[in-house]
Chain A
Amino acid sequence: MPQIVVENLTKTFRVSERASGTWGSVRGLVRRKRRIVRALDGISFSLEAGELVGYIGPNGAGKSTTVKVVSGILVPDSGRCEVSGRVPWKNRIAHVRGIGVVFGQRTQLWWDLPVIESFDLLRDIYGVPRASYEAVRDELIALLDLEPLLDTPVRQLSLGQRMRCDLAAALLHSPSIIFLDEPTIGLDAVSKLAVRQFVKRVNREQGVTVILTTHDMDDIEALCNRVIVLGDGHILSDGTLGDLRASVTTERRLIVDLDEDGVDLSGLGAELVSREGTRIELRFDPDLISAADLIGRITSRFPVRDLFVENMPIEEVIARLYAEQRR
């Protein structure tokens, strides 16, 4: 049986609107305009224990709302959701004991307390037995290299340091599922790598189920074998990265560094995307011409210094998917 089952989940919010400017404010006193926003409009998916799933979509697509419903914070309007056999919002306390959540833009640590005191407080709140707590804590400290930060008040940590501490905080009670809502937002390259490595390890070695929402496609490519794409409260696609790519386009790119510029590129069976000096970028459909054939044709016609084949960048794939959804 899947660990997480979500069926036909809907959630709407009422948003008060008012016209801008002074007159708008005055009118707002008398009559409020309410707009209904459908944050989730029939979401269904299911997850097996130990999966690492990317949950992506443009801003406002409903990613965070899904995370909040599945983690028991928000109550949906309709639909079914069960996590390890429990309905999150009906059985909140038992449910949250088994999950960890990181919201990249927030912190669950106590602002004025040193990191280690926040950890101890979480131990008491989750009621983790002392012996197992110390083992888990020390392992997390080692994995995330937190030793030098432990006595620093949280407010003085950099964003990257704080995120590492927040990751540890979410795992102190050994949850079987973690939700990571944009955990790499605003982080530098080194911190992002550290976060990714850590998430991968926790998933592989401890079998923790991970649901990761992000806008960073590198996160997705580095971590997720399965990707759920969300747009306007609907699921647009659910499958492997390869499936996702194939559903949008099969097109591939060939980038060639030529010896001379200004050569005639007609009749190659590929379309020119860009040309900068001696570097050209070609687009081709592997069903019509294989990469080997195309390379053969080019090398037989021009002296070539370097070449490589690329998939369409995942950013572009996603952007196309979003654009198709709009239409």
Chain B
Amino acid sequence: MNAYYSVMAARFRALLQYRAAAAAGFATQLFWGAMKVMVFQAFYRSSTAHQPMSLAQSITYIWLGQAMLAMLPWNVDREIAVMIRTGNVVYELLRPRDLYAIWFSRILAFRTAPTLLRAAPMFVVAMLLLGMQAPASVGSGFAYAASMLAAILLSAAITALISISLLWTISGDGISRIVPGLVTIFSGMIVPLPLFPAWAQTALNWSPFRGIADIPYRLYMGHIPPDQLPYMLAHQLGWTVALVLLGRWMLARGTRRLVVQGG
């Protein structure tokens, strides 16, 4: 079997064991989602101005975000962090494989397995009880699925970049405080991006973070029509390629100046 696939599959299986964490995550995200829905209901009721997204669409956007929360690149891969901290990273360098590709495979599993455990029940509960809508059309559903795959790759590329930065900072405490802020704001997790002021839209549209949440969610609701899919994929995959190249470059530099912790 292919080496990279095996590494990913092993990590995936290991992560599926964490059912308690998934249940806790599901409960937390349900609570947060409910709170955000109430805030948005109050906001729509108090404003008479025309909004670029309907309340129902905003609510769906919120629940999609809550379902997919574990997929966002808001933390480093714990396994890689531990490896760098303890020096076990030496064994990674002894593999006759491309190190970036091995880490990317691990991270893909790290981004998908927990998401799968949380997203499935969230979709069911939110659609049945909490006002989440189904995809606007079959085309929208398909466009969502396609751009979600691209979003996972993009998210993994960002996670890889953050994880590789640990070769310099080791603890990563600073980064793990800055990154969640950036990611949650600019991906649309706090406020859906269409509701940001007009002057911010250009920058938001170009930012890579948009590709991990805002694009797939709006395709789902038909807020971006399905025929826009190629442009959206170009945005997501273009950024993915750029960030992968950056990550590979950083990793090459990082391993050249590697210091193995703990002798």
Which residues of A are in contact with B by a Cβ distance under 8 Å? 13, 64, 68, 71-75, 92-94, 96-97, 99, 101, 103, 105-108, 110, 112-113, 117, 120-121, 124-127
Contact = CB atoms under 8 A, between A and B. Distances in A.
B17 A93 contact: no
Contacts of B95: 96, 125-126
A64 B263 contact: yes
Contacts of A71: 94
A126 B96 contact: yes
Given A75-B256, A106-B88, A124 B96 contact: no
Nearest to B263: A64
A125 B10 contact: no
A99 B87 CA distance: 19
Interface in B190-216: none
29 contacts: A13-B259, A64-B260, A68-B90, A68-B260, A71-B94, A72-B93, A72-B94, A73-B258, A75-B257, A75-B258, A92-B93, A93-B98, A96-B95, A101-B94, A103-B90, A103-B91, A106-B88, A106-B91, A107-B88, A108-B94, A120-B6, A124-B2, A125-B3, A125-B6, A125-B7, A125-B96, A126-B3, A126-B95, A127-B3
A207 B10 CA distance: 33
A75 B7 CA distance: 26
Contacts of A74: 258, 260
Interface residues of B, number: 28
A135 B91 CA distance: 24
B90 A73 contact: yes
B97 interface: yes
Contacts of B94: 71-73, 96, 99, 101, 108
A241 to B, nearest CB: 26
A113 B10 contact: yes
B94, B95, B260: most-surrounded residue (chain A CB, <10 A): B94
A177 to B, nearest CB: 12
Given A74-B258, A75-B256, A125-B102, 5 more contacts: A64-B260, A73-B260, A96-B95, A106-B91, A124-B3
A214 B23 CA distance: 47
B168 to A, nearest CB: 13
A121 B96 contact: no
B7 A121 contact: yes
Contacts of A75: 256-258
B10 A110 contact: yes
A121 B91 CA distance: 14
A110 B74 CA distance: 25
A68 B259 CA distance: 10
A146 B258 CA distance: 34
Contact of B87 (A106, A108, A117, A121): A106
B39 interface: no
Given A94-B96, A103-B90, A112 B14 contact: yes
